[in-house]
Amino acid sequence: MPANDPAALCLIALALSAAFLILGPTRAFADGKKPGGKKGKPAKVAKGGRPAAEAKAGRPVPEPKEDKASKDGKASKAASSGRGDKAPAEAGAAASPEPAAAESGPGKGAAAVPADLRLVSPRQERKPGQERKPRQERKPRPGREPEEGRAEEPDSAVYSRQLLAKRTLKGEGHPETVEAEWRLGFAFMDEGDPARAERHFRNSLEGRRRLLGPEHPDTLMSLRVLGLALSALDRPREAAELWGEVLAALEKRPREEAFEILIARLHRAVALAGAEGLVKHGPELRGAAARFMKSLGADDPNTLLAACEVGQALLDLHHSAEDEDEPLEISRKIVEAALSGNANTVKDMPELAVHAFSLLAEAALQLGDPRSRLAALRRAVALSERLRGALAPETLSLKHFRARALADLGDLEGGRRGLEQVLKARLKSLGKEAPETLGTMAALGDVLTAEGDVEDGLELMDEAAEKLGRVLGQDALETVEAKLMAARMHMYCGEHLEALALLGGVVEPLEKAAGQDDEAPLLARALLSEAYAGLGDGAAAVREAVAALKIREAGRGLDDPFSLSLMAAFVNACRAAGDMARAREAAEKAAALAERVLDPEDPGILNAWEDLALTLRESGDREAAIRAYRKLLSLRRKALGPRHEDTLAAKRELEALEGKA
């Protein structure tokens, strides 16, 4: 995975954006609910990122078993996925050509994905087109069984030793060494680390070009998987060039490679849209997607596999697209179409189906569709339990996200119980300081605070943030997310100094991972502004809020739902600094923007009018404040009902103002 960890960034942006848009500044940090309107959906994640919340772009996906045609040496459509690897070689020397395997785990290295912050893409069988038997499950050597509380050795460590042995015994250019490079690259991709996978895919590509020629099917597979890795690393222009090479070779055999040509064209269109914009390449992308969906075969695992790969590439594209929803919608349609025509594949190949439902869950998360997300996660959990067992690491990750989805939909008790079960299992299998365990601990604390158990919830979040910082480092995105969750709850409790201590240093790692203009670091700046305002440091509060607004305006402008979060922080900062003229101007703009870009029932509209009414009252313009409170009271009666506490509070404020008339 690239340095921009999408799953962590997605959840960070989601929690922060939800707090600002639903509850307004300062008091907004009590829970993680999201705006209900489609236009006011949760914030997106960073470029090149991927919540898989979840499944990682470019990571290999599960494959069907060998068929007769593959044993006869015939080309298979599954080659389009790039899994043309042969069976692993025997384990070699104990030394490894890569850094310590632990660095490919959560929070380590340039591309680590915390297991709790993404949906784990399942391990794979081999795809059709492979003559060798699939890898057998490794059994620990006597005396080397995994201890309770310790995770099994990752595949990358095993394949690194194998590669070192091949280099030592066979030499750099030997065919077996080339295949070992290929396998190690896929191990890193499977662990969510395309940055390290890229090097080995390039070595494999160079070797296959030299040994087999530039147009051999195995060489083209190396081009494909390298293209997937580059897309995952947010380098779409380079990926587009590689897919162009693949397409040029395949088009020389249009009849034999018709399906692969459709896939290559669609991948190239996705990469070009990411490099040069959806406005320019949108027609090409939509046309390629339509032709691909028409070609999907019924109960053909190859089509579902290809749909998953394309769907994942489209999920990555939405971060840089002008219309961010369109790639998500296309991704969802492609995967849903493949699933609907592959009922037997879903039954017979649950690993592939788990990956497909994980992609649907991520698309629903980004589209602000929590019900569809929960439905997809339930299917994924059921399949994973049948395939791997209820306590398998991959199943626990899916259960973690299912519990969070329940909490997002208001079922706090169901979410709490689910997270408690996951935490218990992870404490037993991974230990109390494993990043996955701490991620679940932080999420459980968040749900407890939403249930009203602020003391216990905040204690869990503080503990998770402290331990993650010690285990992974203060700049790890998992640590940053835990700090942000704990900080907003401290602010809700009026503990602004504690919140500020947690927020120190969170903006820089987010900017480094996602870019300065990404929503996650901008929302972190807004949260910092709120903390300074709560401490009475109006100048610092204005500084952070203005910086966020300027960055956003220079990038995508200030005419969208996300900008409301930043404008709310600026209004609050100006009030803290005593600059009521600027606060009033910003509050009026925010109220007008909210009514223009949000759905009528979206709570963000209520928050914007509350900010405006409060600002007008504090500025001393009683007549304008009365008009604003009347509008607010009308909106709250319609949205919340006449007896809701917020409705009654607005009524009391209005009566107090009118009594002074």
Nearest to 131 by CA among 62, 185, 75, 82: 75
CA atoms of 583 and 542, how far apart (whole Å): 10
* 262-271, 277-286, 492-501, 551-560, range with the lowest pLDDT: 277-286
The pLDDT of 638-642, averaged and rounded, is 90
Question: Which residue shows structure tokens 């998992």?
Answer: 478
Q: Is the pLDDT of residue 442 over 50?
A: yes
Q: Is the pLDDT of residue 113 over 70?
A: no
For residue 75, what is the DSSP state? -
Q: Give buried/exposed letters for 220-242 (b at 16+ CB in 10 A, else e).
A: bbbbbbbbbbbbbbbbbebbbbb
Distances in Å between the alpha carbon of 371 and those of 36, 374, 443, 629?
Answer: 12, 5, 19, 34
- Per cent of the chain over pLDDT 90 is 44
Q: Give buried/exposed letters for 352-368 (b at 16+ CB in 10 A, else e).
A: bbbbbbbbbbbbbbbbb
pLDDT for the residue numbered 535: 93
CA atoms of 486 and 503, how far apart (whole Å): 9
Q: Is the pLDDT of residue 116 over 80?
A: no
Write out the two tokens for 537.
Answer: 């440091």
CB 156 within 8 A of CB 88: no
Q: Is the pLDDT of residue 3 over 60?
A: no
620 CB contacts (<8 Å, ≥6 apart)?
A: none
CA angle 527, 52, 367 (to 5 degrees): 65
Q: For residue 323, what pLDDT band results from cuts at 50, 70 and 90? A: low
Q: Is the pLDDT of residue 110 over 70?
A: no
Q: What is the pLDDT of residues 18-64, one digit of tens each?
A: 443 333 433 333 333 333 333 333 333 333 333 333 333 333 333 33
CA atoms of 331 and 316, how far apart (whole Å): 10
Most confident of 85-89, 266-270, 631-635: 631-635
CA atoms of 163 and 89, how far apart (whole Å): 9
CA atoms of 660 and 16, how far apart (whole Å): 38
Q: What is the pTM of this model?
A: 0.69
Q: What is the pLDDT of residues 618-630, one digit of tens each?
A: 999 999 999 999 9
SS3 322: coil
Q: For residue 152, what pLDDT band results from cuts at 50, 70 and 90? A: low
pLDDT for the residue numbered 299: 67
Q: What is the pLDDT of residues 389-408, one digit of tens each?
A: 999 999 999 999 999 999 99
Write out the two tokens for 215.
Answer: 């147009």
> For the packed helices 6-23 and 603-619, what is the interaxial angle rounded to 10 degrees?
50
Neighbours of 161 (CB within 10 A): 21
- Radius of gyration, alpha carbons of the chain: 26
CB 388 within 8 A of CB 414: no
Q: Is the pLDDT of residue 595 over 70?
A: yes
For residue 99, what is the DSSP state? S
325 CB contacts (<8 Å, ≥6 apart)?
A: 318, 367
Nearest to 78 by CA among 93, 64, 94: 64
Region at 268 (left for phi over 0; alpha for psi -120 to 50; beta for the rest): alpha
Burial environment of residue 144 by CB neighbours within 10 A (0 to 12, 13 to 18, 19 or more): exposed
CB 292 within 8 A of CB 334: yes
pLDDT for the residue numbered 149: 44
Q: What is the pLDDT of residues 448-495, one digit of tens each?
A: 999 989 999 999 999 999 999 999 999 898 899 899 989 989 988 889
The H or E element spanning position 383 is helix 370-388
pLDDT for the residue numbered 321: 55
Distances in Å between the alpha carbon of 331 and those of 325, 422, 567?
Answer: 10, 30, 32
Distances in Å between the alpha carbon of 188 and those of 179, 201, 383?
Answer: 15, 10, 24
HEC assignment per residue over 609-636 = HHHHHHHHHHHCCHHHHHHHHHHHHHHH
